[in-house]
Amino acid sequence: MIEITKNEATYLRKIIPNVHITRTTHKWYAEEIKSVLTQLPGNVEAEKALRELNRTHRTNSNFEI
């Protein structure tokens, strides 16, 4: 889960109605799925998680069985 702002949480709920967002006392967190991460271009954590997701996906998809 990545940390997001309250405004980002509101935006994500409008764009992706069934998105899973968790809130603690002072922080908001969204799940790390591609549809969420691509909607948060200014969020450093989201950009890092998206790079990792793409790197892992490329590595796994190059496997031949």
Which range of residues forms the domain containing residue 54?
A: 2-61
- CA proximity to 36, closest of 22, 54, 52, 49: 49
* Phi–psi pair at 35, nearest 5 degrees: -65, -35
Residue type, position 23, single letter: R
Does 55 or 17 have the greater pLDDT score?
17
Helices (H), the chain: 6-15, 34-37, 44-61
Specify the 3-state DSSP secondary structure of 20. Answer: coil
Residue pLDDT, tens place only, 33-50: 999 999 999 999 999 999
Q: Structurally, how many domains does the chain consist of? A: 1
* Predicted pLDDT at 1: 92
Task: State percent of the chain over pLDDT 90.
Answer: 74
* Phi–psi pair at 4, nearest 5 degrees: -130, 165
